[in-house]
Structure formats: structure tokens, C-alpha cells
Structure 1
């Protein structure tokens, strides 16, 4: 895992160093399109380049936020156009049936805005939140607006952190890994509880 994270970090640094603001945009778009490229590396490194004078704070933040939105919309429309047929056809292999799909629809129709807004600042969750929003057919304009509202402060905060830390921009990586692990464990426990509850309801 350490080797994989190191390779991802090197990929991010090479991408941003060689492509500038567009590299920031592209890296954040990948991270938001259900591909776990960690923004905890992308954004602090971007902040470091602000510190060195290669980037300016606001253009870098806008590029990161725009990438987050673009990748999120890609994942959203994958879920919107392809997610429901895929779940209906193959969902039983993942313990997902029409009943669970209807529950997802209700969840996003009632709390979709808050789900997407908060999901953009949560480790692990932010990478995948747009896909279920698309499956639930959340209003795309609302999804885009709340993605920007949630992503902008996250991007700005981590870029500023990277700028403040300067050459020590990567010193927070162990902390973010622990946060990712904690959130991942919570998601696994939540899934386990749901599966147990679902099995008991059938008995």
C-alpha cells in the first residue's frame, strides 16, 4: 500500500508539474470520477507550488474546483444513464435489488443536497458520491451547485495548508491516511450492519 501511494503521489506531482493549472484540473477530475487519486496529495502539492511562486492561489483553487465539478459530473451521468440498468441487471450480485434502488431514490430526493455537499469534504466518500446521485437521478443543476459549494472550501483549505507548510507540504499525508482508514472502516461496518439487518428481516 505504501508503494502504491508513493507511485500515486509521484504521478500527481509529475502531472501537475508538467501541465500546470490544467494538471490540477485533470488530477481533481480523476479524483472525483470514482478513481481514488487522493486530493490530500493533489491539493497540498498545489499549495506548495503556490508557495514557490509557480502558481497563484485563486487560479489554482478555481482549477481544482472546476476539476472536481467536471469529474463529479462524469460520474453523475454514468450513474444517471448507465447506473440503473446496470444495477437492475447485475445488482443482485452485490446484494442490491429494486427495493434498495428505490431507497436510494428516496434518500437523494429528501437529502440529496446535503449528501453531496458533505460528501465532498469526507475522505473516501467524496470520490464516489456523484455516482449514487446520478443513479438516484438527483437534479443535475443542484448536484453541480452543491458540488461546487462543497468542493471550493475543501480545495482552498488544502491549498492554503500546502502553501503554509511549504517544503513540508507532504507532512500531513500520514494524518489523511488515518482519516481515510477510519472512514473506510466506518463504511465497512455500516455495510455489514445493513447486510445483517437485511438478512434478519428475511427470516
Structure 2
């Protein structure tokens, strides 16, 4: 298995179905916090649904239509990043994230997203990475900004979440922009 160091005793690893118990325990720790904006906590409620969710991403990975990774801090799963969708024919992908409260404010999501976006752009030839976020989710919007994404627009009241209509902001970065913003390697 591989792990990508994120600094500060954190690492990024694939989040696979055999980790369903650990994934469920992580979501239980952050259920209220994560669930404010992310429907993941409504979908993963017990061990069977946790396993099914992770299995669906294993199937997406096999079909090359999505990926999911966990963020571990000090050996504990504290969050994750994913490509909710990947369309290799059109060169597009939608990235997303979640984090439990104990790990907030450390830059882990931004660093993890940089790793997966680099991979998508350089290894999978993805041209456009999208980030869709509720207009009220300031933390996630801040991540999009730190990643150098541009706000493309707002889909007004386009998403029904827990009985409330949400405005969804669409942010994106294109492969040429991503490459141009990357720091030069130290030689």
C-alpha cells in the first residue's frame, strides 16, 4: 500500500472497503460537523453502508470514473479527499473533501487536494478540475481559493439538502493554470 506524506505527521492513503469500520468510526466522531454541508454522513450510517460506500469507490477506481483517499493524522483517519466524478474522455473531474473537527485548520485538505490534482492533471490528463460547494461553506470555498481555482458561477437553489434549497458555487482550475502556478522544483 502507498502513503503520501502531507507533513505534520499526516499522510494520504487510498480509502478501501476493508477500512469500513475505521471509516465509520471516523464519520461518527465528526458526524454533526461533517454533515453540515456533506451528505456523506447521511449515506454512511452503519458498517454495511460504510462498506457499500467504499466499495462503490473501489468500483469507480476500477472503471476510472472516481477515486477516494483518506487523510490520516498521527495514525488516525481524520478526513478525506476524492474525485466524485472523473470523465477521461472529456478531461474533467470533480474534487471534494471532508474533515472531522479535530483536524481542522492544519491545511491538510489543501495539501491532500494538491496531491490528487497533480496526479489527475499529470497522470490522467485531466484538463478541468471542478469544485462544487454550498455558498454557505466558507471553509471549502477557502480551499478552492488556496488551490488557485476560479469561481465560475453560482447554480442558484440547485441542490436540495436536508429539506433546504442550496446555492452551489462552481469553482475550477484548468491544467495549464495548475501547471503554471506550481512552484519550480529545487535543483
TM-score (norm 2): 0.30
The TM-score with structure 1 as length reference comes to: 0.28
More helix per residue: 1
Higher strand share: 2
